[in-house]
Amino acid sequence: MESYITVGAENSTPVELYYEDHGSGPPVVLIHGWPLSGTSWERQRLALLEAGYRVIAYDCRGFGRSSKPSVGYQCDTLAADLHVLLRTLNLIDVSLVGFSTGTGTVARYIGSYGTDRIRKAVLIGTLGPHLLKTPDNSDGVDASVFAGFKAAILDDRGAFLQKFLRDSYNVDEGEGGVSEYVIRENWNVAVNASSIATLACLDTWIEDFRADLPRNDIPTLILHGDADRLLPLHATASRQVKLISDARLVKLRNGPHGVLRTHAQEINRSLVEFLA
C-alpha cells in the first residue's frame, strides 16, 4: 500500500506527498534535491536502517510520485509541507537530512518553525546562506547563470537535464564518477517530474537564508564536495558553517555535487557517527 499525506490543495485537487516510512528507532527524515526524488537516498537509507534508525523519505511536491500542482515551489511552502509531514506522523526528536535544495527546506523549516521537534540536522551539498550575487553578497553567483538555466529548460528540458546531471557528477573528469546507467536512471526520474516544478524550483537556489540560520541551535553537520561545480564550496558550505552556532563542516575530497552516489560510503559513515 502506498502512503500519502495531504499538505494542501489547488482548486479541486488535493496536493499529496508520497512518502516511505521504514524501520524503527530514532526517526530520520530525508529531503531530496532538485530535480530528483526520494529514491536518490537509496544508499543512505540502507545504511541508516542497518544502524537502527526509522527512516522516512518523501517526494517533494512536483517530483517523484507526489502531486504536481502549478504552485508552491518556494522554500516557505516546501518547509510548510515538511511541517505537515512531521505533525501528521507525530515525529519528535527527529533528525533532518537534506541534500542540495533539500538543505534550503531544512534551513527555512528551522527559521519558520524552530527546533522543538528537531534533534540534529545534516546538510549535504548545501545551498549556503545566499547563493545569489547582490550588492551585500559579493561572493554569490551572478543572476545570469540561473537565467541561463531557465532558458535552457524552456528550450529543451531533456537535454538540459542530461547536461546538468553529468555536471553533477563531474563525469568529464573520469575517475570517481558514475556509470552511464546512473545518469540514465537519474534522467528518467528528473524528466518525469513536473515541468512547472522543474522550472520554478530553481528559484529556491537563490533564496536568502541568512535570517533563518541564526535560529539553528541544534548540532549540525555539513558535508560538501570540494569539487562541486554547481554549488561551489567557497560560496556555500564554507560560509554557512560560520552562521550556525553548533555546526561542523566536512569537506569531501574530489567530491562533485552528486556526492550521495560518488561518496556514499564516506557520507554514510559520517551520518551514522554524527546521528549516534
251 bridge partner residues: 224
Q: For residue 38, what is the DSSP state? A: G
Question: How far is residue 110's CA from residue 106's CA, in Å, rounded to a whole number?
Answer: 6
Grid cell, residue 85, equals 509531514
Amino acid at 113: Y
Name the active-site residue from 40, 100, 168, 270. 100
Question: How far is residue 205's CA from residue 202's CA, in Å, rounded to a whole number?
Answer: 6
CB-based contact 5:61 (threshold 8 Å): no
Name the active-site residue from 32, 224, 257, 263. 257
Catalytic residue status for 139: no
Grid cell, residue 164, equals 546538468
Residue 161: φ, ψ to 5°: -65, -35
Q: Could you give the strand order of the β-sheet that contains 27-31, starting from the edge strand earlier in sequence? A: 3-10, 13-22, 54-58, 27-31, 94-99, 118-124, 220-225, 247-252
Residue 7: φ, ψ to 5°: -115, -5
Neighbours of 165 (CB within 10 A): 23
Catalytic residue status for 228: yes
Name the active-site residue from 37, 168, 228, 263. 228
- Residue listed under C-alpha cell 522516512: 56
56 bridge partner residues: 21, 29
The catalytic site residues sit at 100, 228, 257
